[in-house]
Structure 1
Amino acid sequence: MLSIQRDSRSVEDLPYELVERKGVGHPDTMCDAIAERMSRYYSLHCLKEFGGVAHHWFDKVTLYGGGADIGFGRGELTSPYRVKFFGKAAFRVGRTEIPVHDIMFRAAADVLAEVTTGFDAARHLVVEVGVVDHQGAGRGLSRYQPPSPRDLVPLGSGGLVSNDTNLLHGYAPLSRLENAVLGLENLINGSGFKQRHADTGWDVKVFGSRRKDTFSLVVNMPFLGGRIESVDRYRARSAVVRKELEQFVGSLGIEDFDLLMNPTERSGRPYLTALGSVADTGDVGVVGRGNRVNGLITPMRPMSIEAPAGKNPLDHTGKIYNVMAMRLARQVHEASGGPAHVHIFTSKEAPLERPDEVVVTTPDGDEQTLKALVETALAGTGELTAELIETGITLW
């Protein structure tokens, strides 16, 4: 059932706004990325070997940080990261084994190599398997113990139904503060910045607040201990980076702002890491504790607490509709010009193309145009599943 509501209110109208982003090197974000990479690699393996995707979910990944010797002029991991996968999946199709542990190790190793500096999977990574193939009530053996490839689901299959009961939400456009917070982390962990500042780490956390038109930004960004030889060097490099970040915020058209970088420096404690993350020294990450699918944590906005990373891309609407709601909101905003919200609710076993409720909120826009946008999106769930598996969609 589609409902269209008219509302012109915007988060920019609020006198106060708060936003946060956990960067790609934060342990929670690492876990989101590892879980989703595992789902993709597992799905691609099944498609290649069997022509269909075995049912699975890997959305309960945890990362137990390692140990490190860190100081000025040194940064060495002394005990490895430990990544544990919890969830359910098929370990074989008929008599043919799926190399689940090998796929898990590769997924974790690939992600961690992308969001740290100097990571060596052979020395720095241990993977533990907490995944089972137990059957749920009322389920046949084909779900997690498929007797043959004919029991798997090919891409593009019709007639699929929701695997869960979910409520998802998306909105557009991003506010000025949201763009600033997201943009700062993307800048710092972008390839250009890392080439210019190879001594910076990846565990970047950005907080922002806005009081009317006055902005306050806090950036936590580590340096690599092995590349910072002294406290004087640390201070000099901090000043250079802070200046670039301030210039970036100014380029967004934000004039009245202050930017605090690495608050621990106020107590005389430098922010140094070995590989670029607090996971180097034992911090723990868990899927779903960080950014929503638009990359932000936005307490002033409606948002779903669903954790999409690692969920089955074939029929888990907590994943499919999460992306869909965000994209639909952007399309509605482009069509109407005003702030847009999209809520999608589905009950278990509802057809993927017919969720129980879709609510679109916008101040303007032709009703038939909006209806066509929703119908096109719902009819394209198969294409969205293929994109999640074949190309990947960033969910954090």
Structure 2
Amino acid sequence: MTAEHLSTVRILPDTSADIEDLPYELVERKGIGHPDTMCDAIAERASRRYSEYCQKQFGRVAHHWFDKVMLFGGEADIDYGRGDLTKPYTILFAGKGAYTFGDQPIPLRELLFEAAAEVLSEVTTGFDPKRHLTVQCEIVDHQGAGRGHSRYRPQVLDDLIEIGDPRLVSNDCNLLHGYAPLSRLEQLVLGVEQYINGAEFKGSNPDTGWDVKVFGSRFGEDFKLIVNMPFLAAQISSLEHYFARKLQCEEHIGAFSERLLGTRPKLLVNPTDRNGRPYLTALGSVADTGDVGVVGRGNRINGLITPMRSMSIEAPAGKNPLDHTGKLYGVLARDLADEIHRETGLPVETHVFTSKEAPLGAPDEVIVRVLGWEPDAEEEARLREIVERSLADVSGITTQLVSTGIVMW
């Protein structure tokens, strides 16, 4: 933090209604096999693979933007007892990145293919990258006007910025938000999707697909879930078999929901089959039949879509982890809310605003709102200390992102 640019930190009492006290609540989650979520995961995996390669080879991370990923779905031959992908998925990467460091090539295209292949193999059943994947690379290394050094055509080590370098500044103007804790409905929606796509459920129900979308609503104390969950066509022999298997899975999902929530929500699984057509896929995703996915159209950084909460519109997946504050401060806002909630035991909202070129450790404003908090000088000092400690360690978020990425799925 510099004397020229200091953060304004405000700790405020929040007098608005708790989310649990609202008469109505809506939550959504797009599961790991949804085309939009696939794009988020691929973009983030590509950034990690590229960053790890640069760290290993050069000791620093080359600047890059892999956050413009699109998935064009394939084509499938599907019928009872049969499900084959006849036309591959196409993954389009657009953005900016370095192809070389001095005279040393960076295998960018190979790293992008590996990232896409890894993710798609993890979130489908029977995916073979050699047959089922094509990658179109539109990453450019053009240099921006007025740049003092070559970001995308680095020649010497000083053209690459080290993690934690005090010269790092915000790449953009950004507004980020976080909150804690999750409401009961949010925990339910998140937990149900993770359960369906988790090892236990998939081990018992290997004929289920991965493109799981969960919608939750709460009216007072009445909870409702709508779950879209495909089945693998090759493992379903008839319409009667499909409905029998759906009923068995519905019972598993209902029992899990009851354990998690303490009461069984009203549950509707696969409303699309009310027209008499089963929800069948080849590999477990609607991407099998041509659906398109795009980065940033799905879950926010906490893995949920929560229209009744403060939500950032930033699409962090695939963004440069060194200085893009739309990514870094999204993690910061989320983690700050979690830590301050643990400290106070009260619901917390965090809001971070930064202008372009502000030092990474000094966003323009950090606002913390604590629901039901009675202002107290001693506790306010502790909360400010938490904020300041977090701002002083933004480079720790970069290190975390390079090693583990963002988890929104």
Q: Report TM bin, short chain.
A: over 0.9
2:386 corresponds in structure 1 to 373
2:155 maps to 1:142: no
Q: Which residue of 2 aligns with 1:226?
A: 234
CA distance in structure 2 between the aligned counterparts of 1:167 and 1:115, rounded to whole angstroms: 31
CA distance in 2, matches of 1:159, 1:116: 42
Q: 3-state DSSP class of the match of 1:32?
A: helix
Among 4, 7, 15, the alignment partner of 2:14 is 7
Q: Give the distance between the partners of 1:197 and 1:122, measured in 2 at CA.
A: 27
Segments of 5+ residues of structure 1 without an aligned counterpart are none
From 344, 366, 369, the counterpart of 2:352: 344
Calculate percent identity across the aligned residue pairs.
Answer: 61
Which stretch of structure 1 is more off in the superposition, 384-393 or 249-258? 249-258
Give deviations 1:161-217, integer Å, cap 9, x for gaps.
101110000001111111111111000000111111100000000001111110111
| Equivalences for residues 105-116 of structure 1 within 5 A | 105-116=113-124
Is the 2:78–2:84 Cα contact (8 Å) retained in structure 1? Answer: yes
Hey, what's the Cα distance between the residues in 2 that align with 1:371 and 1:243? 47
Residue aligned with 1:59, SS:
strand
Asked whether the 8 Å contact 2:255–2:264 carries over to 1, the reply is: no
Amino acid at match of 2:349: H
Q: Give the Cα–Cα distance (whole angstroms) in 1 for the partners of residues 328 and 245 of structure 2.
A: 43
Determine whether 1:280 maps to 2:288. Answer: yes
Report the AA paired with residue 316 of structure 1: H
Query: Which secondary structure state, in structure 1, belongs to the residue aligned with residue 366 of structure 2?
Result: strand
CA deviations on 1:18-43 (whole Å, 9 max, x unpaired) are 10000000000000000000000111
Alignment partners' CA distance in 1, 2:130 and 2:326: 34
2:268 is the alignment partner of 1:268: no
Amino acid at match of 2:394: T
Q: Which moved more, 1:366-375 or 1:147-156?
A: 147-156
The question of whether the paired residues in 1 share the 8 Å contact of 2:317 and 2:406 is answered with: no
Alignment of 1:1-396 (within 5 A): 1-8=8-15, 9-255=17-263, 257-362=265-370, 363-364=372-373, 366-396=379-409
Secondary structure at the aligned position of 1:245 is classed as helix
Supply the distance in 1 between the matched residues of 2:221 and 2:321 (Cα, whole angstroms). Answer: 41
SS of the equivalent of 1:61 reads: strand
CA RMSD of aligned residues (A): 1.1
Supply the AA of the counterpart residue of 1:89: G
Q: Provide, for residues 311-339 of structure 1, a one-character-per-residue CA deviation record: whole Å limited to 9, x for no partner.
A: 00011000000011011111111111111
What are structure 2's unaligned runs of at least 5 residues?
1-7
Q: Match of 1:225, as an amino acid?
A: A
Q: Displaced runs of 4+ in structure 1, greater than 6 A?
A: none
CA contact (8 A) 1:320 1:381 kept: yes
1:223 shift after superposition? 0.3
One-letter amino acid of the structure 2 residue matched with residue 368 of structure 1: A
Shift of 1:154: 2.2
AA partner of residue 65 (structure 2): W
CA shift for structure 1 position 151: 1.4
Question: What amino acid is the match of 2:89?
Answer: Y
Distance in 2 separating the partners of 1:11 and 1:137: 46
Contact 1:66 1:280 survives alignment (8 Å)? yes
Residues 235-284 of structure 1: CA distance to partner in whole angstroms, max 9, x if unpaired?
Answer: 11101100011111111234363100000121111000000000000000
Q: Distance in 1 between matches of 2:272 and 2:27?
A: 20
Give the residue type in structure 1 aligned to 2:10.
Answer: S
- The alignment's TM-score, normalised by the length of structure 2, stands at 0.95
- Matched residue of 1:388: which SS? helix
Matches of 1:296 and 1:243, distance apart in 2: 24
Deviation track 1:81-120 (CA, whole Å, cap 9, x = no partner) reads 0000010111111111111110000000000000000000
Q: How many residues align?
A: 396
Paired residues of 1:207 and 1:217 also in contact (CA < 8 A): yes
Q: Which amino acid aligns with 1:334?
A: R
- Report the 3-state secondary structure (helix = DSSP H, G, I; strand = E; otherwise coil) of the residue aligned with 1:37: helix
Find the residue that maps to 1:275 and give its secondary structure. Answer: coil
Task: Give the letter aligned to residue 32 of structure 1.
Answer: D
Deviates further, 225-234 or 114-123: 225-234
Please report how far the alpha carbon of residue 371 of structure 1 lies from its aligned counterpart in structure 2 after TM superposition: 0.4
SS of residue in 1 equivalent to 2:54: helix
- After TM superposition, the structure 1 stretch with the greater mean CA deviation from structure 2, 174-183 or 4-13, is 4-13
Q: Which moved more, 1:189-198 or 1:385-394?
A: 385-394
> Normalization by structure 1: what TM-score?
0.98
What amino acid maps onto 2:291 in structure 1? D
**Any conservation in 1 of the 2:40–2:295 contact (CA below 8 Å)?**
yes
Opposite residue 401 of structure 2, the aligned amino acid is: L
